[in-house]
Amino acid sequence: MRYASITDRLAHLGSGRWAVHTTARRMKAAGEDIIELTIGEPDVAPDKALLDEATRAMHAGRTRYSNGRGEPGVLKALVEKYSKRRSGITERNFLCFPGTQTALSVVMAGLVEKGDGVLVGDPLYATYEGVVAATGAHLIPVPLRPEKKFHLQAEDLARAITPEARVLLLNTPHNPTGAVLTSDEIAAIGEICRKHDLWIISDEVYEQLIFDGTTFASPFDRQELAERTIVVSSISKSHAAPGFRSGWAAGPEEFCERLLPVSETMLFGVQPFIADMTALALSQHFDTADVMRQNYARRSSIVERAFAGSNLIKPMAPEGGMFILLDVTATGLGGEEFAWQLLNEEKVAVMPGSSFGAQAAGFLRISLTVPEDVLEVAMGRIADLAGRVAQDKR
């Protein structure tokens, strides 16, 4: 039988990157005591008021069809949220989607196709390569250097641009590194994009999880970049609600008008009862993000202290988000080999850095979504394995 070429383009870009995670889940289901530090699932529950609103809306009959753009309550809440960041925002600047991943996929489909290039910082979130490949476009990696705290540098971006480049896919706060771009960095990157007439897709799902001493900045907030910037985001991280799949895209009116038929062809609306919950989440302050932000910052410090005197494991302090990278190259193993050995010998599951691009091959990504005492045990096991590996190498 014959298949469409998209199945070939994505054949190696699916769940295989989460192989350590899925294996750990199977081991756990079989009764093994596994410490899971793989995926970014918040370890706090959504606020009860949000769950109550979703329940109320379901019982009130909010289970019928929606429309392609989004429910009125959510659109109103989005206008209020983004109007605090930039003037001139209306409901025509938004499209609603079931989660950031869907928003990103539809937005990318509306901007690039076969022969086009998409610039992405490397390391990169694990699904980005597939999102780009699905359109027929190709990924153009831009190195994010550890000595620059993984901040995308305008000069590195400029060097990477090719004649086929059409889009810069930006992620700040960044997954997996936790880097948060400054306003000056955004301005310099934006100027490069203006010079080369590039779209900017800004993935801002971790916007509310920035640690003290760091300030959020976005190309969306700059009037000179308004015509070329699209934000994708959701309530998955900010409100600890990944399973509700509620997100959006914010961008120029013309872009949203042109993308609307694409969205309607694929989805034709989100769930009204979840939209009502999202409208409440966006229109009121809930302390969920505050609690998570404090938890993740404290846990990051625990990891940093655990390896403060180590010459084998080097933690890379994040500025936001829910992850921290560990450089394990001094052990003599790559991140992939170390992660599998850690799971099999120490019963600790982490993500190998190679799941996030070539630049991260020597790293592990640690999720900060477990209690402090569990995290300390896991760091002790990582240190034990690193010591054994180094001894074996000697």
Shortest CA distance to 320 belongs to which of 248, 249, 380, 238? Answer: 238
Q: Given pLDDT bands bounded at 50, 70 and 90, which one contains residue 13?
A: confident
- Domain 5-45+288-393 and domain 48-283 have a common topology: no
What letter represents residue 25's amino acid? R
Where residue 15 falls among pLDDT bands split at 50, 70, 90?
Answer: confident
**Domain locations in the chain as residue ranges:** 5-45+288-393, 48-283
Determine the pLDDT at residue 394: 67
Q: Measure the N-to-C terminal CA separation of the chain; round to a whole number of Å.
A: 53
Q: What is the pLDDT of residue 200?
A: 98
Q: What is the pLDDT of residue 130?
A: 95
Contacts of 356 (CB under 8 A, 6+ apart): 123, 124, 125, 126, 176, 365
pLDDT tens per residue across span 274-332 = 999 999 999 999 999 999 999 999 999 999 999 998 999 999 999 999 999 999 999 99
pLDDT digits (tens, 9 = 90+) for 45-58: 999 999 999 999 99
pTM passes above 0.85: yes
Could you name the CATH architecture of 48-283? 3-Layer(aba) Sandwich (3.40)
**Omega cis (within 30) before 252:** no
CB-count burial class (<10 Å; 0-12, 13-18, 19+) for 34:
buried
Phi and psi for 224 in degrees, rounded to 5? -70, -10
Q: Which two tokens stand for residue 365?
A: 């990504």
Q: What digits encode the pLDDT tens for the residues 359-371? A: 999 999 999 999 9
Return the CATH superfamily for domain 5-45+288-393.
Aspartate Aminotransferase, domain 1 (3.90.1150.10)
| Mean of pLDDT values over 227-254 | 97
